[in-house]
Amino acid sequence: MTQTDVFLRTKAADRMTDPLHIIEVAIPLYLEKTFHYLVPETLLEQALTGRRALVPFGNRKLTGYILGSVTESSIANIKEIITVLDNEPLWTAKELEFFRWTATYYQHPLGEVIRTALPSGINVQILKVVDSEQGRLTGGKKALREKFYLPGSTTPPLRQPSPKALEILAVIRDSGDISAADLRKRFGACAPQLKRLTELGLSRVEEREVYRDPFKDHPAARDEPRILQTHQKAALDAISDCLDGKIFTPFLLYGVTGSGKTEVYLQSISHALELGRNALVLVPEIALTPQLTGRFQARFGGGIAILHSGLSDGERYDEWRRIRRGLARIVIGARSAIFAPMEKIGIIIVDEEHEASFKQSDGLRYNARDLALVRGRMEQAAVVLGSATPLVTTVHAAQEGRLTLLSLPERVAGRPMPLVELVAMKGSKETISTSLSAKLTETFEQRRQAIVFLNRRGFATFLVCTDCGKPLTCPNCSVTLTYHRQRGESLCHYCDYAVPAPGTCPACSGTTLSELGAGTEKLEHDLKELLPTARILRMDSDTTSGKGSHERLLFRMNDGSADVLVGTQMIAKGHDFPEVTLVGVVNAEASLGMPDFRAAERTFQLLSQVIGRAGRGENPGRVVVQAFDTEHYAIRSAAEHDAAGFYQQELEFRSEAGYPPFAFLAAFAISGLSEQAVTEQADMAASLLMRLKAELRVRVEILGPAPSPLYRLRNRFRRQILLKGSSRSDLHRLLSFWRQRATVVSAVRISVDIDPVDMM
Ligand code: ADP
Ligand code: ZN
């Protein structure tokens, strides 16, 4: 990757008397290699590892990341850096090691990894020289100020800001951001200078709601640790031992819904803090609600940094600096928090570890759940993966002893798991069964709340046999075939297998194949007919697009101003509504129809989670699960609370079909505006892969190219190639050779996803 392996001294290098004059710099572009630059005498003291430097690159000036000094360089015409952008290092040596690991594993340029890891508010990306004057800049801030403008700004060659404006700018830079009131305290009236700086794109004004610490004015209802139940105690003891011994140990905290996992997290964190170590808590974005963060604040008071997607760039940068300076000892955040600049990490918690949202779906396609184990190992930390429905791969790792299993098999306070009735919908045209409608009416009359769940995503239409309840599947790939109405075909999106549709059912020869079903909107309509006076809320991506709308809906359920909540998978996750005593599931197999080998796993997880919403309070819960295929193991195991049965059967399927954990995957996504160009590139990529496979003699199966399930997205045509390898190193070897050899036309984008999660 680096160029330091060739040791030819060049003219440029010969001129150097001090090896520290040459540094290695990573640049945030899609380039494999890192670059060498000279450091001018004036910048020697600043150009240290962990800081950013402004560097000439082609005819641009870019922000680069200083990785370290090198003793020699083979590069001819080595250029000088222009200036250094930071006064303090942004990352530690240990963090760099983590970035490097990430770059290698995901086969992603190191500069891009570092850019992803740093908060976006930090990146002053200077794109282009305005002044036509060529030649080497003397470096230093003066030159910078005079010669550059910021992206998006149309400012003509700059007029020099006044000395007062420059002083103000220095203060803004030092503090990252600062309120206008604070600036006035220091400089008196400064509106004209701020206006000028903003016009020049050197500063930015934003209106912000001032965060008020809820515990400041009301020294809080502090929450005290609960007395743990037996299983919770055993889990805490195991984690504490690991913390005391400072030995990396990965745990699976496997606890049914409502079993008190969060309490175990809280007490484990307390223990880490007592030992002078810090805590990193990763949660799915959707869980970053005031409910969860409030629980942490009530227990620990201050010293918590919360990183969620609602933060502005400035706010995120504030939090980042607070962590970097050691002012926050607990970080709670969605996936990107895995890169939090925290030292002395004692414990990393990944709550709801099965959630697909830990995987980043573009750019650096990392999985924060997996990286938690990597970072935890580097930090000698305890890593706790918590879930009521862990990933199949996680369960397998625990069975093999690679994770230590901690289980919480019961709900706290002896509350029972809800009673589940499985209703066969075979041959029925109704959306709501007689049993579900009777229970809905009863629940409404008792003034209790109900949840009705239907997971229907519009694009994944598939055919299901109304006689046997089985969907059409691919004989090669064990995934559901996707029905393409216009082509009149059912198609496999992994291998391109196609059959004319509608045909007969290959399982039972039934002739009535029907398209699976009604969406949440229709369901809401039917519920209104059934319960005309009930207050019904619908939660799906259509009703939660506005800012805060998701929270508002949840709030109305919490304060009792709604009777029924209808929705997609959004309602299945993590919420604690004690008054919900009835849960209905319509079309339990909706998610089985996804053309994805994880369809059964996702279905089991979703159903178990949604079932777990019932009966969390004083009153026991009931659940009605409606399904065409009541015999499907994912549906049956969820309804019977038989997780062990599900995992066993799913692992057998994975083993037979050769999917994770018995194989490693990588997916190529090829997309572009021209259908023909995409097809050609996909074919070229696949044939190069085939040739390399033969040449390298690697054991990798190459499937496709096939159209992606979402064949057209934002006007782009999309195809995919799936690689399956029984050996991770074979797979990685093939991919890295492919990267070296492939030529891609600029109109087509090819991205490689290691351990893909979303196969759409
Ligand atoms: P989970 O995260 O497993 O779904 P929670 O941690 O939210 O479960 O716990 C469910 C409820 O039980 C919460 O209201 C929590 O405060 C309470 N709880 C947890 N542990 C105990 C305990 N040991 N004693 C009493 N209540 C507990
Ligand atoms: Zn197939």
* pLDDT tens track for 96-113: 999 999 999 999 999 999
Domain limits, CATH 3.40.50.300, in the chain: 230-310+328-413, 415-458+519-656
Rounded distance between C-alpha atoms, residue 700 and residue 696, angstroms = 10
pLDDT of the residue at 502: 66
What distance in angstroms lies between residue 706's CA and the mean position of ligand 2's atoms?
9
CATH topology of domain 664-754: Alpha-Beta Plaits (3.30.70)
Ligand 2 (ion): which residues have CB within 5 A?
474, 476-477, 492, 494-495, 497
In sequence order, which residues have a C-beta less than 8 Å from that of residue 163 and are 6 or more positions away?
Answer: none
Q: Is 387 in the pocket of ligand 1 (CB under 6 A)?
A: no
Taking CA atoms only, the protein residue closest to ligand 1 atom 5 is 260
Minimum mean pLDDT among 72-76, 145-149, 472-476, 625-629: which range?
145-149
Peptide bond into 595 cis (omega under 30): no
Minimum mean pLDDT among 204-218, 428-442, 679-693: which range?
204-218
Taking CA atoms only, the protein residue closest to ligand 1 atom 15 is 260
CA distances from 174 to 88, 171, 177 (A): 11, 5, 8
In sequence order, which residues have a C-beta less than 8 Å from that of residue 147 and are 6 or more positions away?
Answer: 129, 130, 131, 133, 137
Q: Is 260 in the pocket of ligand 1 (CB under 6 A)?
A: yes
What distance in angstroms lies between residue 709's CA and the mean position of ligand 2's atoms?
12
List pLDDT tens digits, range 495-530: 778 888 767 887 888 877 777 655 677 788 889 999
pLDDT of the residue at 715: 77
Who has greater pLDDT, 125 or 50?
50
Element spanning 281, H or E: strand 278-282
Ligand 1 atom with least separation from CA of 263: 6
CA 139 from chain center: how many Å? 39
List pLDDT tens digits, range 331-355: 999 999 999 999 999 999 999 999 9
Who has greater pLDDT, 292 or 624?
624
pLDDT of the residue at 213: 36
Section 376-387 average pLDDT: 97
pLDDT of the residue at 327: 92
Share of residues in the chain with pLDDT > 90 (%): 52
Other CB atoms within a 10 A radius of the CB of residue 615 amount to 25
Q: Is 228 in the pocket of ligand 1 (CB under 6 A)?
A: yes
Residue 212 in this model has a pLDDT that exceeds 50: no
pLDDT of the residue at 123: 59
Tokens of 386: 């918590």
Rounded distance between C-alpha atoms, residue 195 and residue 182, angstroms = 16
What distance in angstroms lies between residue 264's CA and the mean position of ligand 1's atoms?
9
Domain limits, CATH 3.40.1440.60, in the chain: 3-121
Q: Are 255 and 378 in contact (CB under 8 A)?
A: no
Nearest residue to 369 via CA among 250, 196, 208, 489: 250
pLDDT of the residue at 331: 96
What distance in angstroms lies between residue 642's CA and the mean position of ligand 1's atoms?
22
Element spanning 526, H or E: helix 520-530
Q: Is 298 in the pocket of ligand 1 (CB under 6 A)?
A: no
Section 666-678 average pLDDT: 94
What is the number of the ligand closest to the CA of 480?
2
For domain 415-458+519-656, the question of CATH label 3.40.718.10 is answered with no
Ligand 1 atom with least separation from CA of 351: 2
What distance in angstroms lies between residue 257's CA and the mean position of ligand 1's atoms?
10
Residue 220 in this model has a pLDDT that exceeds 80: no
Peptide bond into 416 cis (omega under 30): no
pLDDT of the residue at 154: 35
Section 234-254 average pLDDT: 97
CA 181, 187, 189, 195 dihedral sign is negative
Tell the residue number behind the tokens 């962590």, with chain if given: 323
Residue 10 in this model has a pLDDT that exceeds 70: no
pLDDT of the residue at 333: 95
pLDDT band, residue 372 (cuts 50/70/90): very high
pLDDT of the residue at 521: 73
pLDDT of the residue at 146: 27
pLDDT band, residue 316 (cuts 50/70/90): confident
Who has greater pLDDT, 689 or 548?
689
Domain limits, CATH 3.30.70.600, in the chain: 664-754
CATH topology of domain 3-121: GIY-YIG endonuclease (3.40.1440)
List pLDDT tens digits, range 137-189: 333 332 232 222 233 333 744 456 787 888 887 777 766 667 777 788 788 88
Q: Classify burial at 665, counting beta carbons within 10 Å of its beta carbon; exposed 0-12, middle 13-18, buried 19 or more.
A: buried
Beta-bridge partners for 480: 473
Q: Is 28 in the pocket of ligand 1 (CB under 6 A)?
A: no
Section 578-601 average pLDDT: 88
pLDDT of the residue at 200: 74
Q: Are 703 and 495 in contact (CB under 8 A)?
A: yes
What is the number of the ligand closest to the CA of 498?
2
pLDDT of the residue at 602: 93
CATH, domain 230-310+328-413, list 3.40.50.300, 3.40.50.12140, 3.30.420.10, 3.40.190.10: 3.40.50.300
Q: How many contiguous H segments (helices) and E segments (strands) does the chain have?
A: 22, 29
What distance in angstroms lies between residue 599's CA and the mean position of ligand 2's atoms?
15
Section 203-230 average pLDDT: 62
Q: Is 612 in the pocket of ligand 1 (CB under 6 A)?
A: no
What distance in angstroms lies between residue 440's CA and the mean position of ligand 2's atoms?
41
Rounded distance between C-alpha atoms, residue 81 and residue 119, angstroms = 23
Q: Is 119 in the pocket of ligand 1 (CB under 6 A)?
A: no
Q: Classify burial at 339, counting beta carbons within 10 Å of its beta carbon; exposed 0-12, middle 13-18, buried 19 or more.
A: buried
Rounded distance between C-alpha atoms, residue 567 and residue 541, angstroms = 9
CA 24 from chain center: how many Å? 30
| Ligand 1 pocket test, candidate residues 256, 257, 263, 266, most atoms within 8 A of CB | 263
pLDDT of the residue at 458: 37
Ligand 1 atom with least separation from CA of 408: 3
Strand 580-585 relative to strand 622-627, pairing? parallel
pLDDT band, residue 460 (cuts 50/70/90): very low
What distance in angstroms lies between residue 480's CA and the mean position of ligand 2's atoms?
9
Section 666-674 average pLDDT: 94
